[in-house]
Amino acid sequence: MIRQLEPKADVLAGRERIVAGLRAILPAGEWGDGVIAEAVRLKPYETDGLSAYRQPPLAVVLPETTEQVAALLKFCQANGVRVIPRGAGTSLSGGALPMEDSVVMGLMRMNRILDIDYADRCAVVQAGVTNIGITNAVAGNGFFYAPDPSSQLACMIGGNVNMNSGGAHCLKYGVTANNLLGLKIVTIDGEIIDVGGAYLDAAGYDWLGLLTGSEGQLAVVTEVTVRILRSPEGARAMLAAFNSNEIAGACVDAIISSGIIPVALEFMDRPAIHACEAFAHAGYPLDAEAMLIIEVEGSLAEQDALLDRIKDICGKFEPLSLKVSQSAEESLAIWKGRKGAFGAVGRISPDYLCMDGTIPTSRLAEVLRRIGEMSDACGLKVANIFHAGDGNLHPLIMFDANDPASFQRAETFGADILKLCVEVGGCLTGEHGVGVEKRDLMGVQFSAIELEQMRRIKGAFDPDWLLNPSKVFPLLEVATPALANAA
């Protein structure tokens, strides 16, 4: 079990009083009970997308309005109760893992789209609206919301903001932080604050940028103003298969150097190709060591022109095959394999850990070779999926959770991969967040002074360290939060 901060004895002892206090703020409404405290009903909240770690919370609250969020936070602060904000619970880094003495604040009932403005190209949505829900709401007018994490059917915009989620198309469109205009947040002392709005570049400090990716440690997000974009005239994908990871990596460099920025540029190694093909039947080349999915946008003529140029470039790298999608259905099938990669690996291995480091793309071949060596050494298989254009690597480490030794080896293997990412000039996490999973590796990437600097900023928002306090920072470092707030 992952270590967390010591539960507060007074909070555990005061459980009944605290639950009664929460119920007084959140009486049963049209959705039913807004406070969950029965063991059996807490079960679904004991974990998130990183299901290796589990911990039932003290209680779960499901507010329906920003004002309720404010009243609940005020109550929690007054009673010294820790709060774990939660969207859909799809975090792959354990960002929503509860603590024994914590209240999980689920935002999923705040799922309304409040305003869509096509002329000004923005929408205001509540935190519990799903990522795809935004795109679905505006697609009829030809618009979309750009960041598209693989979990986009389930994950919620509030969680996307807190983790600064990416996706397969951020090479062109950027990550969550690049697609936001404003937030409505509630601080731990129950203050409701609007940050930014339906305009660009609010004056003063960039609170919007600081809050984005803050992993639920600064405030609770209840509303989000997002940029919506007009969809391109069309898009088409192609597959290119190569004899080695090195050759495919060199081809990626050549495409970028040519001045073309494809809207997506995805890399899969042999184990990933096989797993995904068995799942999606997308026509992936099973004889290849590495494969690229390359997508371009524009009119049909523009797509043809770009794909011709890309085919010419790929041709110089002795491709095993080049296949341009001939229809929208074929493009969908190509993406079905990639977006279903996690499920596909789940079919061939009882369990897997999904890593998320980023590396300079020039180091790709070397990093994949060393991951292969680590895999051989620890006896665990790994499939690599990679946002090749931006260097974000997703090794999927396969293990068997019923075998504790296997899980432990997988954790060590994962940590070694992330250390390697930092060693070659990259970082621990490109889009999944630090959460609880990578917390103890933060010292690999940051100095003690830097961790202390970030902790002081968290303390500026949350002086008592009540918001998601067991995450992001190594626990030893948080053992004396009072000291961290002294400044």
Partner 1 sequence: MEVSPAETALAATIADSARTGEALAVWGNASKHRMLRPVRVTRSVSSRDLTGITLYAPKELVISARAGTPLAEIERTLAQSGQHLIAEPPDFSLLMGTAGPQTLGGVVATNLSGPRRVAWGAMRDHVLGVRAINGAGEIVHSGGRVLKNVTGLDLCKLLTGSHGTLGLLTEITLKVLPAPERTGSLVLRGQDAARAVTSMSAALGSPYGVSAAAYLPAAAAKAIGQDSAMTLIRIEDFSASVAYRLDRLRAELGAHGESSDLLDDAMSRWIWRMIANAAPLDAAHEEAVWRVSVRPSAGPAVMAALVPLGAKIFMDWGGGLVWIAGPASVAAHQAVTDAARAAAGTWMVFRAPEALRLAVDVIPPEPAPLARIGVRVKAAMDPRGILNPGRMRAGA
Name residues contacting partner 1, limited to 447-486 (CB under 8 A).
Answer: 447, 449-451, 453-454, 456-461, 463, 472
Q: What is the phi/psi pair of residue 283, to 5°?
A: 80, 30
| 180-239 positions binding partner 1, by CB under 8 A | 187, 189, 191, 193-195, 197-210, 212-214, 230-233
Contact 298, 243 (CB under 8 A): no
Q: Which of 9, 40, 301, 405 binds partner 1 (CB under 8 A)?
A: 301
Q: What is the phi/psi pair of residue 443, to 5°?
A: -65, -20
Binding mask 1-40 for partner 1 (x = CB under 8 A): ----------------------------------------
CB burial string 335-365: b at 16+ within 10 A, e below: bbbbbbbbebbbebbebbbbbbbbbebebbb
* Structure letter (DSSP) for residue 32: B
Residue 24 one-letter amino acid: A
CB nearer to partner 1: pick between 211 and 282: 211
CA–CA dist 80, 82 (Å, integer): 7
Give the residues across from 351 on adjacent strands. 399
Q: How many residues bind partner 1 (CB under 8 A)?
A: 94
CA-closest candidate to residue 214, choices 483, 466, 457, 486: 457
| 316-335 positions binding partner 1, by CB under 8 A | none
Within 10 A of 12 (CB to CB), how many other CB atoms are there?
12
| 100-159 positions binding partner 1, by CB under 8 A | 117-122, 142-143
DSSP assignment of 242-268 equals ES-HHHHHHHHHHHHHTT---SEEEEE
CB nearer to partner 1: pick between 5 and 256: 256
Q: Which of 101-109, 331-339, 344-352, 444-452 is the region at the interface with partner 1 (rule: CB under 8 A)?
A: 444-452
CB nearer to partner 1: pick between 108 and 177: 177
Q: Which of 55, 244, 384, 429 binds partner 1 (CB under 8 A)?
A: 429
CA–CA dist 28, 8 (Å, integer): 28
Strands 229-230, 122-126: pairing is: unpaired
Binding mask 366-395 for partner 1 (x = CB under 8 A): ---------------------x-xxxx---
Q: Does 431 bind partner 1 (CB under 8 A)?
A: yes
CB of 448 to partner 1, least distance (A): 10
CB nearer to partner 1: pick between 351 and 462: 462
Binding mask 239-278 for partner 1 (x = CB under 8 A): --------------x--xx-xxx-----------------
Residue 292 one-letter amino acid: L
